[in-house]
Structure 1
Amino acid sequence: MANVAVLFGGISPEHDISILTGLQAERGLLNSIHKVSSIYWSKGGDFFLLPNGCEASSFASGLPAKVEKLTIHLGDSPGFYQGGKSFSKPKKLEIDVVLNALHGGPGEDGSLQALLNLAGIKYSGPGALGASLGMDKLAFAGLCANLGIAHLDRHLLSHTTQPQTITFGSPFILKPRYGGSSIGIDVVSDLETAKARLRTNVHLKLGAVIEPFRSDLFDLQIAVKTFPKLVLSAIERPLRDKSGGEFLTYKDKYVGGTGMVEAPRELPAKLSDVIRESIYNYANRLVDAVPLRGITRIDFLSNGVDELYVNEINTIPGSLSKYLFIEPMIPFENLLLDLIAEATEVSTFAPTTAGADGSALSSAGTIASKLG
């Protein structure tokens, strides 16, 4: 039995969806062999220990009742601590594994992972390096190019981007370089409008990428589970809003209050054998190259017949992609238990000081001599 803390919320536009995923995970583990607690990361950046059984509506206008603020310590005896007010000594929260249910922002870009590494806390999902690569759309496109994986042309968009550097024609689709798969996305007809969006779209503040907008292509998705062995889920074709939107929107994905579980879809997707086998091939190649850990959703664009492009990866997908594991069928509790087992057995952090033997210091002479 392990002490498992489900961590959700976070400083991200996907804060609300993370709450849904976290509450689903908590419920999915309550009847397991593990002792389960929940930690909520507020929009203001504070951590809170929650009572079990909270509902999503409890977070709509603030904090649920009976929460307790936590702090996280590094150094001696690192970890999450509760209490410590009125001269009382803070008490370390017993946590063996954090089940990471955070989407977007510092919960999925490697920031939290690096903090947990330094605090000596084991966690599910990607390590800091895999998470940061998965969040950077420009770097991920470069990886795909290096591997020979088909990908639509993608360029960095900045205020200094010149027309001659764009290798494709309009219309263009703009995406946050370090954002999720649907928030902040915009379709524009020319480069000047694209550059103007850098000033008006808050989601593009830290960086943006520009791609050709292909209205003839549709979305396809597959989930990858890495432990105890590699398992690929069924392939899904998410369906766009009946209003005929230009791309799969946040609303299309997250309806009904249960993350992506109730979103309209074709599952399994009806595809040609060529497209299906290419999806399996690309998914297998990306596992080691990123590297992937936990449950990852890989998103594609395709015409369903003879064109397929890897679009991006979501290293902590909504609802942990539980609804995709129908071929083979894997119960949600089993998915969660495997995430916990992987977090316990497969390390994401291997610090070493090998090579720092003091020889460079002993031969350095005086620091004063280095300043001349």
Structure 2
Amino acid sequence: MNESTRKPRVAVVFGGKSNEHAISCVTAGSVLAAIDRTAYDVVPIGIATDGRWVLESGDPERLRIEGPDRLPHVDGERATIALAPETASTGLVVTEPAQPPRTLGEVDVVFPLLHGAWGEDGTIQGLLEMAGVRYVGAGVLASAVSMDKAYMKVVLAAAGLPVLPSATVTAREWARDPARCRARADELGYPLFAKPARGGSSLGISKVHDASELADALAEAFQHDPKVLLEAAAVDAREVECGVLEALDGTPETSVPAEIRITGDHEFYDFAAKYLPEEHTELDVPADLPDDVTRQIQELSVRAFEAVGCEGLARVDFFVLPGGRLVVNEINTMPGFTPTSMYPQMWAASGLDYPALVDRLIQLALRRDTGLR
């Protein structure tokens, strides 16, 4: 096959060093199953928890969650793979013990399905920019700002978007002056939430009902991030999300909003409610909202997308407070693509099914140059 007729080569990168390694694997399984192999040459690349890049099997069935103690992971013993910049392109080189290096050819686009630190936070985006490789999703700055919930709030508030009151506490500050940290929490009032500032998938999040629970909540969050966001609770609020996706001309479009309703013993949308199949989370797609509230959510979603400089896709999460007032909770530049994820469900309800959604993201990346834009 000559260069003019070969299929674009898509490297699907997943796993990673963060505590969201398993969720990244699950997301990758869904995407690998959906990519049109008649249109694209797909190379599955796993990043093991120790940081090794390997040529993975790409079997979607191996990347499923089978229970709380049976989470998928990248097999770090597989053949090592690396991006190798050449004169006019970047290729993939595979290295195996006792074998000469072999090349898989040029990479046209990377689909980075990494969640959390060292992936969703601008780090891999910077690596790909330096290598001159096109990739799906937000760039370095938008990824970094959106990953850090404290800075995200600063940017959104500066753009005139409504956010909840919050304060940050670092592990160093807590060790040095716990009284001052407690004072910040008291100013916010209880109940509040303690969240790893740069985490996701609801890992390490605790609802703090009163001051007596603050120390334990911080200890839990510090296991995931030395920087923690304390955030006032949105009491009696509804949790609503909206998808943003660029059209092929770069115009941001919005999906129908969807609502998450937690059942059973969960006080909030925690890890178990999100990902474990035996848990019960009810999703209303689309959300049952007045038309004017739906329009406002969609408008604020585009404003949030543009405020942080997103590209490709994002999911914007809201609280609908009693009385209908909206607050932006956060923006996620690489929302999950698991079978239970809201982002693809919202787009399916908006007329764009899962394979078409994946194809749109790849096409957007292929049309975009790296570097300043």
Question: Same fold per TM (> 0.5)?
Answer: yes
Decide whether the 8 Å contact of 1:272 with 1:304 is kept in 2: no
Query: Which of 280, 284, 287 in structure 1 is aligned with 2:298?
Result: 280
Decide whether the 8 Å contact of 1:50 with 1:66 is kept in 2: no
Tell me the distance in 2 between the aligned counterparts of 1:322 and 1:201: 29
Report how many residues are paired: 347
Decide whether the 8 Å contact of 1:184 with 1:204 is kept in 2: yes
Matched, 1:295 2:313: yes
Decide whether the 8 Å contact of 1:79 with 1:120 is kept in 2: no
Structure 1 residue aligned with 2:202: 182
- Partner AA of 2:52 in structure 1: D
Query: Which of 195, 198, 207 in structure 1 is aligned with 2:227?
Result: 207
Deviations 1:65-85 (A, max 9, x none): 994221345687755421265
Tell me the distance in 2 between the aligned counterparts of 1:31 and 1:142: 42
DSSP 3-state at the match of 1:326: helix
DSSP 3-state at the match of 1:239: strand
Q: 1:177 to 1:69 in 2, by over 3 A?
A: same
Decide whether the 8 Å contact of 1:79 with 1:119 is kept in 2: no
State the superposition RMSD in angstroms. Answer: 2.9
> 1:34 deviation in Å?
1.0
DSSP 3-state at the match of 1:134: helix
> 1:219 deviation in Å?
0.9
> 1:91 deviation in Å?
2.8
Tell me the distance in 1 between the aligned counterparts of 2:201 and 2:322: 20
Which protein shows a greater Rg?
A: 1
Percent identity, aligned pairs only, is: 27
> Normalising by structure 2, what TM-score?
0.83
Query: Which of 82, 95, 116 in structure 1 is aligned with 2:94?
Result: 82
Decide whether the 8 Å contact of 1:292 with 1:315 is kept in 2: yes
> Normalising by structure 1, what TM-score?
0.84
Decide whether the 8 Å contact of 1:74 with 1:118 is kept in 2: no
Matched, 1:331 2:357: no
Question: Which range is displaced more, 100-109 or 134-143?
Answer: 100-109
Matched, 1:47 2:53: yes
DSSP 3-state at the match of 1:17: helix
Listed as ranges, the matches of 1:17-56 within 5 Å are 17-56=23-62
Tell me the distance in 2 between the aligned counterparts of 1:61 and 1:219: 28
Structure 2 residue aligned with 1:173: 193
Listed as ranges, the matches of 1:232-247 within 5 Å are 232-243=254-265, 245-247=266-268
Structure 1 residue aligned with 2:11: 5
- Partner AA of 1:315 in structure 2: T
Tell me the distance in 2 between the aligned counterparts of 1:36 and 1:61: 20
Q: 1:27 to 1:193 in 2, by over 3 A?
A: same
> 1:44 deviation in Å?
1.9
Decide whether the 8 Å contact of 2:30 with 2:60 is kept in 1: no
Tell me the distance in 2 between the aligned counterparts of 1:27 and 1:119: 27
Query: Which of 103, 116, 119 in structure 1 is aligned with 2:115?
Result: 103
Tell me the distance in 2 between the aligned counterparts of 1:137 and 1:65: 31
Structure 2 residue aligned with 1:15: 21
Q: 1:208 to 1:79 in 2, by over 3 A?
A: farther
Q: 1:215 to 1:246 in 2, by over 3 A?
A: farther
Decide whether the 8 Å contact of 1:133 with 1:139 is kept in 2: yes
Tell me the distance in 2 between the aligned counterparts of 1:54 and 1:64: 14
Query: Which of 152, 163, 166 in structure 2 is aligned with 1:154?
Result: 166
Matched, 1:223 2:235: no
Structure 1 residue aligned with 2:369: 347
Deviations 1:252-303 (A, max 9, x none): 111339xx9x952011111133422221121121222111112211111113
> 1:218 deviation in Å?
2.2
Query: Which of 231, 245, 248 in structure 1 is aligned with 2:269?
Result: 248
Tell me the distance in 2 between the aligned counterparts of 1:217 and 1:8: 34
Decide whether the 8 Å contact of 1:172 with 1:188 is kept in 2: yes
Structure 1 residue aligned with 2:333: 315
DSSP 3-state at the match of 1:211: strand
DSSP 3-state at the match of 2:311: coil
Tell me the distance in 2 between the aligned counterparts of 1:162 and 1:89: 54
Deviations 1:225-245 (A, max 9, x none): 0131422111111121322x2
